[in-house]
Structure 1
Amino acid sequence: MTEDERDTTITVRDLQRNAAAVLKRLEHGVTITVTRHGRTVARILPPDPVEEAINQAVEDGVIDRADLTRARTAAQTAKIRRAPASPDGDVASQSLQELRDMEGDR
């Protein structure tokens, strides 16, 4: 996708009429500039891949969100401990064991 394809300008009316299509374009990394009467009123950005990866790591139990919130520097962030294990055990260990089991079935 070229730079021109990654930034699209639409009107407020187009946004209202085509919200689903606009969201689909955002999923594909397009930045949308919204205008009203020719003036920019908003810019809608696609999800940040780094932020999405962090959210997934928190959801998977790899990172504890409370520790992440308290970290102020990159050095502090690097020292974040794993989230407490769930009652079902360590999520990463379970996933690794599942992968090993799948490899053994081949």
Structure 2
Amino acid sequence: MTAVTVREFSYNPSAIFARVEKGETIEVTKHGDVVAVLVPPPRKQSRFDELVAQGAIRPAERNLTTRDLDQYTRINVPDDVDPLAILLEMREHER
């Protein structure tokens, strides 16, 4: 953690803020006492992380590869049937 005086901060605040934007935490001191701490904002969570935190989705228990696709049951869907409608119907039956 870096410290700068109020005077140093007042001379060039944009340079101090630029350092904070890059991830640095800076203490601002006045007569040797810390009067402020500038910290970068928390990183924005990805949409995936937000959904996991909400419990809307569960992350995979292990890393999957294309070889793992062979383990899943293949369903042949006729051309005149909407696959989304089938999935939604299957979900309704699970509830």
Structure-2-length-normalised TM-score = 0.48
Considering only CA atoms, is the larger Rg found in Structure 1 or Structure 2? 2
* Higher helix proportion (structure 1 or 2): 1
